[in-house]
């Protein structure tokens, strides 16, 4: 069974930028978002695509399944099946004290939002948190990518 254990945080400042090891642009769209799961198609850079299925829990540990799909099929799905449920971001990988942080800089209607995620081997794994990592938002449903695709960050307003 596929599992993902991950914690998500807001990013404060730009001190992470000088230590980026790799970056890629993602475009992803949601084929289905239900109370039980989200099904998305993601184009990773310019050369690969995956179909991803995650359960909809807010826990740091979730079921996750990924399957490669032909790039042309993924583009067609984004264009025809994901209307109103698409987001774009650039993901940067940063190694900090042995932990690989994924820093997502969102574009379009989510411009201005920068999140850092770290995948864990176990729920209770201790992590070293860099100074540029702010408040944890792992349990906040607004910061799920599936939520951001439907209710973008720039539409939240004050409060």
Active site positions, annotated: 30
Which of 20, 14, 5, 19 lies closest to 133 in space, CA to CA?
14
Helix (H) / strand (E) containing 79:
helix 71-80
64-69 own/partner pairs: CB under 8 Å, 24+ apart: 64/2, 64/3, 64/4, 65/2, 66/2, 69/41
- Tokens, residue 115: 């999140």
- Please tell me the distance from the alpha carbon of residue 136 to that of residue 121, in angstroms, as a whole number: 18
- Please tell me the distance from the alpha carbon of residue 9 to that of residue 135, in angstroms, as a whole number: 6
Please count the residues of the chain: 159
């Amino acid at each position: 069974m596929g599992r993902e254990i991950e914690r998500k945080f807001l990013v404060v400042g730009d001190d992470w930028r000088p230590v980026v090891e790799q970056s890629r642009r993602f475009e992803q769209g949601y084929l289905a978002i239900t109370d039980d799961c989200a099904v998305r198609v993601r184009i990773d850079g310019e050369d690969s695509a995956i179909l991803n299925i995650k359960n909809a829990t807010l826990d740091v540990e979730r079921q996750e399944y990924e399957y490669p799909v032909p790039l042309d099929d993924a583009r067609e799905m984004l264009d025809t099946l994901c209307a109103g449920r698409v987001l774009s971001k650039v993901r940067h990988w940063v190694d900090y004290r042995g932990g690989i942080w994924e820093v997502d800089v969102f574009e379009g209607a989510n411009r201005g939002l920068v999140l850092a995620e770290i995948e864990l081997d176990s729920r209770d794994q201790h992590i070293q948190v860099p100074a540029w990592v702010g408040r944890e938002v792992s349990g906040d449903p607004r910061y799920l990518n599936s939520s951001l695709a439907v209710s973008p960050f720039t539409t939240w307003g004050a409060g």
